[in-house]
Chains A and B, each alone.
Chain A
Amino acid sequence: MIADLLRALHTGSFWYPLAFFFFAAGVLLPALLVVLSRNLLHCALWLLPCLASVAGLFLLLGAELLAAIQILVYCGGIVVLILFAIMLTRGLGDPDVRAINQQLLWGFAGAAAFAGLVLHMLSRESWPAVAAVNRGDITGRLADALLSPYLLAFELSSVILLVAMVGAVVIARPERE
């Protein structure tokens, strides 16, 4: 059933743009609320629909495993970790504390200038027409790529995770006299 739905999404000319705009709005509107909400807890919670919609865009692009990883790691892990940290640092969701620093104007100008520059470049560039691709077993090919040509990156990321885990425990541990 889900496979049929995905095939319809990938081949249908009507549903695909509709799903794309749904997920694009689902990324951008919650992202704005992540930045603009006054309550930090709301900011972190708005991250959930944003990241889930990024997973939806991955699905539309045909990266099924990556969409699953995105949901598992980001929505299941990172957001929960951030929520824990917010609740452990008391008084942060306090709406009386100003959430924005004094660089609002410059910050907005910088971000708007960046967006304008990148979008201008995007519209100027004519991206090369690409050949049709053979979809096939993407997940299997990703596993092959991770375990043969990119084995070093794969193993290094496991070392990074181990170091980060030990480091986080050491840093967050209360100091003893």
Chain B
Amino acid sequence: MTGLPPLPIHGYLTVSALLFAIGLFGVFVKRNAIAVLLGVELMLNAANLNFVAFWRYGGAARMEGQVFAVVVITVAAAEVAIALAIVLNIYRRFKTVNVDQINLMKG
């Protein structure tokens, strides 16, 4: 089974760029720390989509693209675990997780 998918790479790159922009918008405007985290997850998935698309359309002879994606997924899992632990800790201390209300260090 040889041959490229009958579709140019632009489709994947466009989806990835739009997904990244949506995630960026979420990170910019959301107040809740967990909602900001959801935006970060969307952006990580956009990056993964790009890695795999370039792996496939770049010849698929070497496996770097997929190795990158596996490492990104691993780090994302670790990041979510740590971030949610921090969010729970902040909630216990401040009784809120809205990032614009946690301004203890604001000068």
Residue positions of A touching B, CB distance < 8 A: 7, 10-13, 16-17, 20, 24, 27-28, 31-32, 34-35, 40, 43-44, 47, 50-51, 54, 57-58, 60-63, 65-66, 69-70, 73-74, 77-78, 81-82, 84-86, 88-89, 92, 97-104, 106-108, 110-112, 114-115, 118-119, 122-123, 127, 130-135, 138, 141-142, 144-146, 150, 153, 157, 160-161, 163-165, 167-169, 171-172, 174
Other-chain contact of A135, B20, B60, B97 (Cβ < 8 Å): B60
Interface of chain B residues 16 through 41 with chain A (CB within 8 A): 17-26, 28-32, 34-35, 37-39, 41
Chain B binding surface, main DSSP class:
helix
Residues of B close to A88: CB separation below 8 A: 88, 91
A133 to B39 Cα, complex, angstroms: 34
Considering the complex, which residues of chain B in the window 49-90 have a beta carbon less than 8 Å from any beta carbon of chain A?
Answer: 49, 52-53, 55-64, 66-67, 69-71, 73-82, 84-89
Contact B63 A130 (CB under 8 A): no
Confirm or deny: B105 has a beta carbon within 8 angstroms of a beta carbon on chain A. Answer: no
Contact in complex: A133, B21 (CB < 8 Å): no
Say yes or no: is B10 at the interface (Cβ < 8 Å to chain A): yes
Q: Are B20 and A122 in contact (CB-based, < 8 A)?
A: no
Say yes or no: is B102 at the interface (Cβ < 8 Å to chain A): no
Q: Are B52 and A31 interface neighbours, CB within 8 A?
A: no
Q: Assuming the A-B contacts A81-B84, A114-B24, A142-B66, are A89 and B42 also in contact, with contact meaning beta carbons closer than 8 angstroms in the complex?
A: no
Choose one: A70, A101, A115, A130; the contact of B17 (CB below 8 Å): A115
* Bound Cα distance from A13 to B6, whole angstroms: 6
B85 to A167, Cβ gap below 8 A?
yes
Chain B residue at smallest Cβ distance from A78: B80
Q: B13 touching A122 by the CB < 8 A rule?
A: yes
30 contacts between A and B (CB under 8 A): A13-B6, A34-B42, A35-B23, A35-B38, A40-B35, A54-B45, A54-B48, A54-B49, A61-B56, A63-B66, A73-B77, A82-B80, A89-B34, A99-B30, A99-B32, A101-B100, A102-B100, A106-B28, A110-B25, A115-B20, A131-B59, A132-B3, A133-B59, A134-B2, A142-B70, A145-B66, A160-B75, A172-B84, A172-B85, A172-B89
- Chain A residues near B71: list those with CB within 8 A: 153, 157
Q: Is B7 an interface residue (CB 8 A)?
A: yes
Residue pair A111, B31 in contact (C-beta under 8 Å)? no
B37 touches A165 (CB 8 A): no
**Among all A-B residue pairs, the 5 with the closest Cβ atoms:** A107-B28, A164-B78, A115-B21, A145-B63, A111-B25
B74 pairs with A101, CB closer than 8 A: no
- Closest CB-CB distance, B104 to chain A, in whole Å? 17
